[in-house]
Structure 1
């Protein structure tokens, strides 16, 4: 078993979607595993977060960002975490993620992130079988005919009259784990009024969150592509607002706040146990 190892961390959030960031860009961190990530994310016995973020060296970009959801599963992208990392880095950067290379630019109190190009093919989401992703011929109770967009991770978007009237805490996990989505899926319920979007998100591997950056991107793209919404569009989330800009064939630009909550450190062996 490895000797004592004290690991520094930075606790951050974007519109209340919170992260524990471990900075290993110098190659100093031990290997992360889903059980360790889940233990650190636990709000009662760990540090507590929606996502654990690991920064590592990269040959393809300035550095690499790995993202572990609260259930310990590693995912491809996280828009709110990208803004937090931009704030932490303090200067423009290209960042490698499992969903592709993104570009970060810190701003006063937040950041702008180029999230890359959205994908709409059924195999890109991915879905279990071919169908029209602009208006999928499927439903779960009152939620029907969603759009599907991959923005580094998979999303389905239901446009409804009132997102707050949807029992998303009940329907979200049913849709997330439906066999139609072999990689599971993030579930968005949204309404459009006065050219803006109101959005709630059931996040894959996390649950209901106060904000989801990739959910805002996917929903804005679907609204611009299929609902006649004009770019840029403001997305109202429970935790606050994001601005999303996208033109057909281009990349998605997300602008919004990020904040450092506090810093600290932990003993690696307290969470990794004999696995170290």
Structure 2
């Protein structure tokens, strides 16, 4: 379908997204090349991913997420926080919501630009050498390192994401280092195939890896700094089970516009 496509741009701690109100089904999600072009920072709008907000029964809306490579992705935590802000700005919700994403239902609260997003429970954390591997809506590899600010995250992350174990399905690679009263995390994201300024499911996975490594139990909140800002992850840990998982941080409107299909 040709014509003008209306879109909005939002970012959450530097993770930026194209958002489209697709309640009238104006956008067909099957055009991988078109989505990839929209996300391209040279030839399109530029973004880490694209989301469609759609109507669905029993929920305020459905979130359909696509990676910058144009293919439908798994859950995106910062994207989830941004689409909540988008829904609020569209007048679909007020300060609370329940919506459906690819990994199931989510609840969220929003106040000003701060979004507190409920994430899925996690029941299993495995290891790969000294690294931790878990799925927080998307698959993640978490490695504790030193001198993270100086690490070549692209090269190190690319190597792990494309090794024999992970190449076919792909994995997001997170590097974490203790910092002050919290932690610093940098992430190589599959689908973007590069380092991003933030990754919501990634910092959630990193916080859980900290709790496992430190053998913490009970109600826990961990502040995590990313290149794009500050995020907070909380959960209840009982052995290897993580429940009441929350991802908190900013979600900001950037601009809106239209682009020719």
Aligned to 1:27: 25
Structure 1: stretches of 5+ with no match in the other structure: 122-132, 138-144, 269-276
Q: Is 2:254 the counterpart of 1:261?
A: yes
Structure 1, residues 177-229: CA drift from partner, whole Å, max 9, x if none?
A: 22312420000000124441111000112111111111111101111122246
Structure richer in strand, relative to its length? 2
Q: Distance in 2 between matches of 1:85 and 1:203?
A: 19
Q: Does the CA contact (< 8 Å) of 2:103 and 2:120 recur in 1? A: no
Structure 2: stretches of 5+ with no match in the other structure: 89-93
Q: Distance in 1 between matches of 2:37 and 2:179?
A: 41
Q: Distance in 2 between matches of 1:100 and 1:165?
A: 37
Q: Does the CA contact (< 8 Å) of 2:174 and 2:206 recur in 1? A: yes
Cα separation, partners in 2 of 1:219 and 1:5, compared to 1, 3 Å: same
Q: Distance in 2 between matches of 1:29 and 1:71?
A: 17
**Counterpart of 1:117 in 2: which secondary structure?**
coil
Q: Distance in 2 between matches of 1:169 and 1:95?
A: 33
Cα separation, partners in 2 of 1:187 and 1:93, compared to 1, 3 Å: same
Q: Is 2:111 the counterpart of 1:107?
A: yes
Q: Is 2:9 the counterpart of 1:11?
A: yes
Q: Distance in 2 between matches of 1:183 and 1:61?
A: 30
Number of residue pairs aligned between Structure 1 and Structure 2: 247
Candidates 185, 204, 208, aligned match of 1:221: 208
Structure 1, residues 229-249: CA drift from partner, whole Å, max 9, x if none?
A: 672110011111001101114
Structure 1, residues 86-114: CA drift from partner, whole Å, max 9, x if none?
A: 11112322222112221122122121100
Aligned to 1:129: none
**Segment of structure 1 superposing worse, 62-71 or 199-208:** 62-71
Aligned to 1:126: none
What value does the CA root-mean-square deviation take over the aligned residues?
A: 1.7
Map 1:125-274 to 2 at 5 A: 133=126, 135-137=127-129, 145-181=130-166, 182-206=168-192, 207-228=194-215, 231-248=220-237, 249-268=242-261
Cα separation, partners in 2 of 1:192 and 1:232, compared to 1, 3 Å: same
Q: Distance in 2 between matches of 1:14 and 1:162?
A: 25
Give the 4+ runs in structure 1 shifted more than 4 A. Answer: none
Q: Distance in 1 between matches of 2:33 and 2:156?
A: 27
Structure 1, residues 40-74: CA drift from partner, whole Å, max 9, x if none?
A: 11111111111111112223632211111111222
Structure 1, residues 96-138: CA drift from partner, whole Å, max 9, x if none?
A: 21122211221221211001112426xxxxxxxxxxx1x323x
Q: Is 2:68 the counterpart of 1:87?
A: no
